[in-house]
């Protein structure tokens, strides 16, 4: 179907992950174009000069170029699990701001000329705030998953995978169980299909993929 939105994505980008999960749960069918970040296609740059993923180009040519905006747009169309009822904007902003700041400087110290131990400790302190919530509930805004969980989970995954041996021995049983639940979910599995980088002239690839 040529009128489907086009989704520019990158499999391992946490912003793209959360957008794909919302698109999938909402039943929003797209044509997906996997982007190689070292060789971004001209079509992506023309649609969104900032050229970061994810980006949605709708059939009328309008563009949505922020992951949270894509999530809210798709869920406004259809929200079968009521994700938008479980949104904590302050918590998401803390994740996208301070936590992401420390995550980048922990994971990529050479790129940022940073002390990874300092930023790991700061990230851990923020995860301890999530732990307080998860001590009494399965997800961050109740027992059912919502947009807050899906918006934050890919970044916690990235933090954990930076040094999984260290992460697994931290006193974060709630966070660790929550992370494990989302990693083992059918939803996460479905959005992590491996795709070759898109090139002009390629046949459309449906998302969700079969």
Asked whether 7 and 55 are in contact (CB, 8 A), the reply is yes
Q: Of 151, 194, 187, 156, which Cα lies nearest the Cα of 172?
A: 156
Residue 209 has what pLDDT? 77
| The pLDDT of residue 1 is above 50 | no
Q: How many residues are given for the chain?
A: 210
- Mean pLDDT score of the chain, rounded to an integer? 96
Q: What are the domain boundaries of the chain?
A: 6-82+189-207, 84-185
Neighbours of 196 (CB within 10 A): 9
**Confidence bin at 2 (pLDDT 50/70/90):** low
Task: Report the distance separating Cα 131 and Cα 67, nearest Å.
Answer: 25
6-82+189-207 and 84-185, same CATH topology: no
**Which CATH architecture is the domain 6-82+189-207 placed in?**
3-Layer(aba) Sandwich (3.40)
What whole-number percentage of the chain has pLDDT above 70? 99
Determine the Cα–Cα distance for residues 23 and 25; give it in Å rounded to an integer. 6
Question: Residue 87 pLDDT > 90, yes or no?
Answer: yes
Radius of gyration of the chain (CA): 17
- Of all residues in the chain, what percent carry a pLDDT higher than 90? 97
Q: Which of 186, 210, 204 is nearest to 59 (CA)?
A: 204
Give the tokens for residue 10.
């990158």
CATH of domain 84-185: 1.20.1050.10
Tokens at 88, concatenated: 């904590």
HEC letters along 107-162:
HCHHHHCCCHHHHHHHHHHHHHHHHHHHCCCCECCECCCCHHHHHHHHHHHHHHHH
Centroid of chain to Cα 109: 22
CA gap 118, 101 in Å, rounded? 12
pTM: 0.96
Query: What pLDDT, on the 0 to 100 scale, is given for residue 62?
Result: 95
């Amino acid at each position: 179907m040529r009128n489907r939105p086009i989704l520019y994505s990158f499999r391992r980008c946490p912003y793209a992950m959360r957008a794909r999960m919302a698109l999938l749960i909402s039943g929003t069918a797209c044509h997906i174009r996997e982007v190689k970040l070292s060789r971004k296609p001209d079509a992506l740059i023309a649609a969104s000069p900032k050229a970061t993923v994810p980006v949605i180009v709708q059939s009328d040519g309008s563009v949505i170029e922020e992951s949270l905006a894509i999530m809210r747009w798709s869920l406004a169309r259809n929200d079968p699990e009521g994700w938008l009822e479980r949104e904590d904007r302050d918590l998401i902003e803390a994740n996208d701001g301070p936590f992401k700041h420390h995550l980048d400087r922990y994971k990529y110290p050479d790129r940022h000329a940073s002390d990874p131990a300092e930023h790991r400790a700061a990230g851990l302190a923020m995860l301890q705030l999530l732990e307080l919530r998860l001590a009494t509930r399965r997800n961050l805004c109740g027992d059912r998953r919502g947009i807050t969980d899906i918006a934050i989970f890919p970044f916690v995954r990235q933090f954990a995978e930076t040094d999984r041996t260290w992460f697994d021995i931290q006193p974060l049983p709630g966070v660790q169980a929550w992370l494990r639940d989302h990693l083992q979910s059918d939803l996460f599995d479905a959005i992590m299909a491996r795709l070759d980088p898109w090139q002009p002239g390629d046949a459309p690839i449906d998302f969700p993929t079969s």
